[in-house]
Structure 1
Amino acid sequence: MSGFKFIVFSLLLFVGGWYGWRHFNSQDAISKPIRYVKIEGAFQYTSKDKLKEVLTPEMKRGFYHADMDAIHHQIMSLPLVEKADVKRVWPDAVHIKITEQKPIVRWGDNALLNKQGDVLVPDNIADFKNLPLITGPNGQEKKLLEIMKGVYIVLKDKSMQLAEFHVNDRRAWRIKLASGLEMQLGGKAPLENMQRFLKTMDLIGKAQVEMMVSVDTRYPNGYAVTWKPDTPEIDWKAVAEQNKILEKTNPAPRVGTGNDNT
């Protein structure tokens, strides 16, 4: 008996492709064997070996007896599979088309979110460490994702990259940039607090901002800065005067969420 033999034709990650296997003379197949299984899709997270593992039991039952619904269920049980189409193709084949989820951020320690804010649980979260991180109260995934998108755009306009967005149980915000700079934004008007800092950033210059370790904006008329060692002193009086001029010329809009500073 030759058993259930798999032949891999091709697999193109990221851009699409297909692979298949051929079944030769299996005595396990009842009546008419399945000789070909064709799988199509853009595979970034679903491994060939995992697919073979979940599909082999049904394929061994043969062309007439393999349960297409069971095959579909097994495929959909795999992490990060969004949808699957399974059909029998006469005389001896099964055609499967798989669409994977597209995670865009990490959610907490072990999960991901797609662009709709749906929670996804991968086999290995370490494979996604390059994605931005969101943490916050359970059940707020969709809302926080939309807020993060807005924060991301505001920072991107300043050539800054958002790496982490945290919201605690008191709705206070904290963000971290790819550069390592952390910002405490509080729970009262956090967007306004961030905008106030970004406006001042234009006055003190990019080089000085790069010397900052953290910024606490939870003050009504300013913010506290923790600096890297040996940072040159800034003339804050001159910065404040320039800031007053800008406020008179371009008053910032009142934007706020939450109830208190934290």
Structure 2
Amino acid sequence: MAASERTITWQFWAGLSFFAVVVIGTLAGIGWLYYTAMDAQEVPLKRLVVQGELQYVTPADVRTTLLGEPLGSFFSADVNEIRARIEAMPWVAQASVRKEWPDILKVFLVEQKPLAHWNANQRDDALVNQAGEVFYADKSVLEQSLPYLSGPEHAIAEVVQQYRNTSELLGLNGFQVQQLELSERFAVELVLQNGLQLRLGREALLERIQRFIDLYPQLEKHKELPLESVDLRYDTGVAVRWRSKEEVAAEQQQES
């Protein structure tokens, strides 16, 4: 009886020891796998793939941004944090990031689409995008000429809307808006590509522009000197100023 009890006791402790070894081994294996997965040296992100219609941002720019701080391993790298870092780049409007086994980081970019310079007399790097949002970026990479918009910071949407409305009507008639300024009292002034200034005021802007379009052929024939400004803030008629011979001569001398 005593021998039988000893046998049962030995089997119990042997089984318990084996179970403990299995549990400890399993936990050790899990720990090893975890630390291996989290170690950037063991499972590194080796390749970066940048996609999107890129004009202002290069894959090298993205790589430089990402290498500024540790990325982590394939498993530990936080795609949301990486996306936030990329979207902080001046010319990036939106980014999506995903990891692809075993070592690829894929980034899809949507760039800012600039509409115009914004309050250039206050900041050299301020731009407004097609969505009417102000952003700040290096303008030296711009390949196209953009108009200059200015106005109160709280009225960006109003400035953009006025630019779109006026430039569309003028564009249909062969004129291009180079500058638009919205005053604190919401009065609008335009400068066309040929340097002609249009004072439109605050009301009936499109009607006043149409009046200018209708009168322009007659104004062009009225004098040999170029037009300087047309004030359309009157209910009937306009006030016109032509440039003087001295002003024209001074400009020609500067250009030469």
Same fold (TM over 0.5): yes
Question: Which structure has the greater CA radius of gyration?
Answer: 2
More deviation in 219-228 or 134-143?
Answer: 219-228
Structure 2 CA distance for aligned equivalents of residues 60 and 193 of structure 1: 58
The answer to whether residue 200 in structure 2 is matched with residue 185 in structure 1 is yes
What do the CA deviations read for 1:104-123 (whole angstroms, capped 9, x no partner)? Answer: 1222124222222122221x
1:148 aligned partner, one-letter code? Y
Q: How does 1:112-151 map to 2 (within 5 A)?
A: 112-122=127-137, 124-125=138-139, 127-128=141-142, 130-151=145-166
1:186 aligned partner, one-letter code? G
Q: Give 1:59 deviation, angstroms.
A: 5.9
Name the % identity: 29
Structure 1 equivalent of residue 95 of structure 2 = 84
The answer to whether residue 69 in structure 2 is matched with residue 54 in structure 1 is no
2:200 aligned partner, one-letter code? L
Structure 1 CA distance for aligned equivalents of residues 136 and 80 of structure 2: 23
1:151 aligned partner, one-letter code? T
Richer in helix (by share): 2
The answer to whether residue 164 in structure 2 is matched with residue 153 in structure 1 is no
Structure 2 CA distance for aligned equivalents of residues 54 and 61 of structure 1: 15
Structure 2 CA distance for aligned equivalents of residues 145 and 206 of structure 1: 33
Structure 1: runs of 5+ lacking an equivalent: 1-27, 232-262
* Contact preservation (8 Å) 1:29, 1:62: yes
More deviation in 190-199 or 58-67?
Answer: 58-67
What do the CA deviations read for 1:68-121 (whole angstroms, capped 9, x no partner)? Answer: 222111101111312211111111211111111211122212422222212222
| Structure 1 residue runs of 4 or more that deviate by more than 6 Å after TM superposition | none
CA RMSD of aligned residues (A): 2.7
Secondary structure at 1:71's aligned position in 2?
Answer: helix
- The alignment of Structure 1 onto Structure 2 pairs a total of residues equal to 203
Secondary structure at 2:212's aligned position in 1?
Answer: helix
More deviation in 155-164 or 182-191?
Answer: 182-191
TM-score normalised by length of structure 2: 0.69
Q: Report the CA distance shift for 1:126/1:87 in structure 2 as closer, same or farther (over 3 A).
A: closer
TM-score normalised by length of structure 1: 0.68
